[in-house]
Structure 1
């Protein structure tokens, strides 16, 4: 049985090499999603949401293998982040952040399979946040993207360059939520070695003459 691995199938989105901003085309993807707001701490609502997300993701993996004879690697944790003022991501004012945590799913995973897995995970794990996990499709299209190596709190200057230099220089504006793909586990990786894909959907506002 060949296992589907989103990191292999969508290398441009999950294994970029560029450490400065560059454009990429992001196809439509299906995700498990759970939403919240405030400081992203594993000791608070954020941590319970992530735990619920993984509980459903692994239940789906085993359900797919058992019922459909189709296996897949559970994808990395991802997050959409937004706020009334995008500058709070540059200043790291985390109390003002809202978030939607995601795990990518193969295209054969249907809403019915997600609901079956959600009910099974809720019965087994008893985590209340599982009730908030849902199935959704996201199509970001043209996006500015960079591989950030280092602490999450060191993202501020990288995002400042996007907001104040790169977008204007290329005649672009932001069209969707700030997106992060976490390629490293922060509980097991030195902060200086964390690898995170930073992504921002964009559109052209004028012809680029650079």
Structure 2
């Protein structure tokens, strides 16, 4: 069986200072959607639930077939919705601007983790049920969904999330120079565990779908 982790490894290896264009195939995700400050309890509960289910699925796979797979990085989509601020909605949804000027309580997010083959929906469902005795509130919000992001541009940001603006500007300038435009939502991939990394050591892959 093909190892999906090897097939998609290029999606997580952008070099510092570069902007890469990649084609993201259909992938199976465990995900939780929510709203509010990423430093608040809802986002923390979502991450706890996703890591719990993901590790349970990988443990279940090892028990079932003896195969050992690596848990994939945490990812998140970020956007903002407010019918009274249409221009801001379009800019943030497209990924052209950050959310720094918008109240954190209004931020919308989708935290998610790729579930590599041979993990499938059935194994994930069992992992979710096996995790329920832990009593984690975020488990009630976990869903499994296959999603194809398609053609994207991405750039590596090193450092605190609050200063991503320069990297986003470089990314979007490269997209414009290529004769393309941003579509979809601002996508971040956290290379490492953001719960345990020092701010200046954070490595975040910023991805914008393009058309």
1:153 corresponds, among 159, 162, 176, to: 162
* Residues 77-106 of structure 1, C-alpha deviations (whole Å, 9 max, x = no match): 111112232165253533332111111112
CA contact (8 A) 1:90 1:159 kept: no
Q: TM-score, normalised by structure 2?
A: 0.84
Measure the CA separation in 2 of the matches of 1:186 and 1:116.
Answer: 27
Gaps of 5+ in 1: 204-210
Instruction: Sort the Cα spacing of 1:73 and 1:36 in 2 relative to 1 into closer, same or farther, 3 A.
Output: same
Number of residues paired by the alignment? 197
1:141 corresponds, among 150, 166, 172, to: 150
2:116 corresponds, among 77, 91, 106, to: 106
Aligned equivalent of 1:195: 203
For residue 9 of structure 1, report the CA deviation from its aligned partner. Answer: 4.0
For residue 18 of structure 1, report the CA deviation from its aligned partner. Answer: 4.3
Measure the CA separation in 1 of the matches of 2:4 and 2:72.
Answer: 7
* Residues 74-133 of structure 1, C-alpha deviations (whole Å, 9 max, x = no match): 11111111223216525353333211111111222222221111111012x111211211
Measure the CA separation in 2 of the matches of 1:83 and 1:166.
Answer: 24
Measure the CA separation in 2 of the matches of 1:187 and 1:46.
Answer: 11
Aligned equivalent of 1:130: 139
CA contact (8 A) 2:156 2:167 kept: no
CA RMSD after TM alignment: 2.1
Measure the CA separation in 1 of the matches of 2:142 and 2:170.
Answer: 34
Gaps of 5+ in 2: 82-88
1:95 corresponds, among 105, 109, 122, to: 105
Measure the CA separation in 2 of the matches of 1:113 and 1:10.
Answer: 21
Q: Which region of structure 1 is more displaced relative to structure 2, 185-194 or 150-159?
A: 185-194
Aligned equivalent of 1:34: 32
Aligned equivalent of 2:58: 61
CA contact (8 A) 2:28 2:145 kept: yes
CA contact (8 A) 2:154 2:171 kept: no
Q: Which region of structure 1 is more displaced relative to structure 2, 81-90 or 30-39?
A: 81-90
Aligned equivalent of 2:183: 175
CA contact (8 A) 1:144 1:201 kept: yes
Instruction: Sort the Cα spacing of 1:29 and 1:15 in 2 relative to 1 into closer, same or farther, 3 A.
Output: same
* Structure 1 counterpart SS, 2:63: helix
Aligned equivalent of 2:127: 117
Q: Which has the higher contact order (CA 8 A, sep 6+)?
A: 2
